[in-house]
Amino acid sequence: MKVLVKATLSLGSPRPLKNVYIGIEEGRIKVISKEEPEEYEYAEYIIGGENRVVLPGFITTHSFVYLYPFRYRIFSGKLNAFELLSVLSPNDIYYFSLVGAYHLLKSGVTTIVTSGPNLDMIARAISEVGLKPILAVGVNCPDSKENWEKEFTSLYNRWSSREENRVIFRLCSKDNAKEVFEISKQYNIPVLVERFVNLENIDNAVNVIGLGGGARSDLELIKKNGFSLSFTPSYEVSQFPLSQYKPSISLDLTPSFNIKHEVSVSLTRLLLTPEEALSAITVWGYSQLKYNDRGSIENDKVADLVIYEIREPPSFPLDLEAPYETMMFNLDYPETILVNGEAILDGGVPLNVGIKDIKKAEERLTEIENRRRGKEPRSLEKN
């Protein structure tokens, strides 16, 4: 299917492009032109227009999407996340992950790195929304399975292919680090290393994405070895800009659960420039995960795109003299989102999920409150 996007402004190329046409075919960008390309005159899907801004789809390098409905209470300490696991069924995890992915869709995220129990159900939920899941298999994490090698093999066989890997690791202690990095090297996949795991004395560490940003105690080692860094701006304090690390942004389980909010915090704390902030949620994040065919608006890149209409408050005005600031501080919802060149959100409305799914999640929440209060036993469910 041929798709034609018209935009007043495009960000995500080496420089901002004004009044541009983007032609998409077979899920990839094929044409970027100042003039309407003749071969797309009768495209099956024509979107955008005046006051539209197009950007690459965003990526969050780590999140606990299955805990999304509980993010306020967990943040305030009113609920222990890991005690909650004892009352969550596989179907609970599915529906809570689905509404979490729904939220991320409406904030412009197209690829979600996530971890937690029952990663297969989480991946199904994210995929149902139309987004791309990347599963971080926990090793010695409070919410991970004991036999992490078996889980990795099972998920890798199910969710990865020769063309695209969808499974990585999340390392929560130095135990088993040697084995994890050996597998990482064998499969050429990244390892998310939790902020409390110091990389010193781990000799075979490769493909590292260090979580925790400027708060890590081993930053010099990360810099020396050319490892990657991811941070959650609203959670972490850094006394210096992080530009030299080309970091990505992790949502973790922030109360806002909004990647654009995290970007705006990174700007007001002078950790990144507006141009770098866009890179952090696009090309730098994808590059850390070894996806070099996406995250920018260039010919032959994967057509995961986010389109905003900048016409009225709260996004008004479209300031072409400060294009990156306009978009990085703008917390408005996207108008259209394409994944592999196909719309999964149009007119601000998700196309694959809706209110009925939210109601099912609400019912699950009520059941869980009853379980926690001991009013009813946890039911047996089929996966």
Report pLDDT for 381.
Answer: 52
Do 372 and 87 meet the contact criterion of CB atoms below 8 Å apart?
Answer: yes
Rounded to 5°, angle at Cα 256 from 251 and 260: 65
In angstroms, the CA 372 to CA 78 distance is 13
In angstroms, the CA 274 to CA 15 distance is 13
Label residues 208-223 b or e (16+ Cβ within 10 Å = b): bbbbbbbebebbebbe
- pTM exceeds 0.85, yes or no: yes
As a residue count, the chain comes to: 383
Report pLDDT for 382.
Answer: 47
Report pLDDT for 315.
Answer: 87
Tell me the H-state helices in the chain.
71-76, 81-84, 90-106, 119-129, 148-159, 177-187, 219-225, 259-268, 274-280, 283-288, 323-328, 355-372
Do 352 and 344 meet the contact criterion of CB atoms below 8 Å apart?
Answer: yes
Sheet hosting strand 109-114, strand order edge to edge: 58-63, 109-114, 132-139, 167-171, 191-193, 208-211, 228-231, 248-249
In angstroms, the CA 262 to CA 255 distance is 11
3-state secondary structure of 29: strand
In angstroms, the CA 48 to CA 141 distance is 44
In angstroms, the CA 370 to CA 372 distance is 5
- The residues, any chain, with a CB within 8 Å of residue 233's CB and separated by 6 or more, are 213, 249, 262, 263, 265, 266, 269, 271
Label residues 84-99 b or e (16+ Cβ within 10 Å = b): beeebbebbbbbbbbb
In angstroms, the CA 102 to CA 99 distance is 5
In the chain the domains, ranked by start, together with CATH numbers, are: 2-56+297-350 (2.30.40.10), 58-288 (3.20.20.140)
Single out the residue of 87, 102, 106, 71 nearest to residue 359, CA to CA: 102
First to last CA, the chain: 35
pLDDT along the chain (383 residues), means of 10: 96 95 98 96 93 98 97 94 90 98 98 97 98 98 93 97 93 95 96 95 90 91 94 88 95 96 95 97 98 97 97 90 94 95 97 94 92 60 48
Pairing mode, if any, of strands 342-346 and 336-339? antiparallel
Beta strands in 183-238 (DSSP E): 191-193, 208-211, 228-231
